[in-house]
Structure 1
Amino acid sequence: MHKFRLICLTLLSLSVSVVAHADEKRYVSDELNTWVRSGPGDNYRLLGTVNAGEEVTLLSSNEETKYGQVRDANGRTSWIPLAQLSTTPSLRTRVPDLENQVKTLTDKLTNIDTTWNQRTADMQQKVAQSDSVIAGLKEENQQLKNQLIVAKKKVDAANVQLDDKQRAIIMQWFMYGGGVAGFGLLLGLLLPHMIPSRKKKDRWMN
């Protein structure tokens, strides 16, 4: 009877010291694989080990023995020292995540670099096309200027030829006018001598 009471008191004390947890996530320390036991203490039998860095679910904890009851990925329930549990993911878990993040960032940087290079090439091509268009416009402008200079020279030459023709025509008219005037003057001088006067005819008739 005395032993039964002692066992009951022991179980009661253990039940009082056990704190339940709402399935909190914990991570086994990154050290070597850790032994797990069938109960909250070093005097309970060993059930096996959990891998370093493995994620487990904390079900309850014993404040006196500093053990926590966990459930591993295989669904096995066991007890493990609370000192072997951590609230942050282990390096074994974080390193792949960090590697994935680094790879993602590297891919993004590569895509940004490729996109930037493509945009730079497009801009350079557009600038080259603009330079070609500008050069073509300048050449066309120079050709138009040259054509304008040639046209002005032709107009000047035509004006000179027109002035020469006008002067030649004026000289011809002057010559024609002078000839007519001279012929009239000469005719006026000769006519009186060519027509005999009436007085002389009357004398001859008498």
Structure 2
Amino acid sequence: MYKLRHLCFALLSLGFAASTHADEKRFISDELITYIHSGPGNQYRIVGTLNAGEEVALLSVSEGNNYGQIRDTKGRTAWIPLDQLSDQPSLRAKVPALEQQVQTLTQQLNTIDAGWNQRTAEMQKKVTESDGNIQSLRDENQSLKDQLVVAKKKVDAVAVQLDDKQRAIIMQWFLYGGGVAGVGLVLGLLIPHLIPRRKKDNRWMN
């Protein structure tokens, strides 16, 4: 009777331990091949093998034997030592993922590098175009300055010519007026001598 109670208590403890560790994700450690057994111990028969890195589901744990009941990707249920399980993927399983990450990061870096080179080339092109526009504006400004200097010289020359014409016109008018006045003076002096005076009729005086 005492042995039966002890056996029931052990089974209840095993069931409680199994319920607290149900369906936890685990990975086979980096051993090349791991044997799985039909029960929680080496004394149980081997029912198969698992390769390193394979993912399994932890269904229950036998604390006394330090074994865990697992289910693999093929649907098989078996027991395996807990020290051959890991809560992290093995290095063998991580390598393809790491290689993929490296490839992805390399592609991203190449894309960033290509984009940066393109942006740099566009900025250099814009700077070159800006320098060309600035030089063009400078040349145009200098041309306008030269044209302004020439225009000022022309204006000064026209102003000088205008002053000369004004002086010539004034001189012509002065000469014309002096000539008219001289002719009038001469005629005023000559006409009385050229036209005989009429004798005064003094008959009415007698």
- Scaled to the shorter chain, the TM-score interval is 0.7 to 0.9
Residue 173 of structure 1 is matched in structure 2 by: 173
1:15 aligned partner, one-letter code: L
Alignment root-mean-square deviation, CA: 2.7
Q: How does 1:52-63 map to 2 (within 5 A)?
A: 52-63=52-63
**SS where residue 73 of structure 1 aligns?**
coil
1:44 aligned partner, one-letter code: Y
Residue 85 of structure 2 is matched in structure 1 by: 85
1:163-195 deviations in Å (ceiling 9; x for gaps):
111111111222222223333333444445545
Deviation at 1:24, TM superposition (A): 0.9
2:64 aligned partner, one-letter code: E
- Identity fraction in percent: 65
Q: How does 1:56-135 map to 2 (within 5 A)?
A: 56-135=56-135
Residue 159 of structure 1 is matched in structure 2 by: 159
2:11 aligned partner, one-letter code: S
1:130 aligned partner, one-letter code: S
Alpha-carbon distance in structure 1 between the residues aligned to 2:22 and 2:139: 84
**SS where residue 186 of structure 2 aligns?**
helix
Alpha-carbon distance in structure 1 between the residues aligned to 2:70 and 2:184: 150
Residue 51 (structure 1) aligned with residue 51 (structure 2): yes
Alpha-carbon distance in structure 1 between the residues aligned to 2:96 and 2:197: 151
Alpha-carbon distance in structure 2 between the residues aligned to 1:61 and 1:194: 166
Deviation at 1:156, TM superposition (A): 1.4
Deviation at 1:75, TM superposition (A): 1.3
In the alignment, is the contact (CA less than 8 A) between 1:40 and 1:79 conserved in 2? yes
Residue 137 of structure 1 is matched in structure 2 by: 137
Structure 1 runs of 4+ with >6 Å offset = 8-11
TM-score norm. by structure 1 comes to 0.81
Structure 1 stretch displaced more, 125-134 or 164-173: 125-134
Q: How many residues align?
A: 195
Alpha-carbon distance in structure 1 between the residues aligned to 2:52 and 2:5: 36
Distance 1:180 1:10, change over 3 A: same
Residue 203 of structure 2 is matched in structure 1 by: none
Deviation at 1:13, TM superposition (A): 6.4
**SS where residue 70 of structure 2 aligns?**
strand
Deviation at 1:91, TM superposition (A): 0.9
Structure 1: tracts of 5 or more residues without a match? 200-206
Residue 15 (structure 1) aligned with residue 29 (structure 2): no
1:2-25 deviations in Å (ceiling 9; x for gaps):
xxx97x789646634523132111
Residue 26 of structure 1 is matched in structure 2 by: 26
Alpha-carbon distance in structure 2 between the residues aligned to 1:197 and 1:13: 183
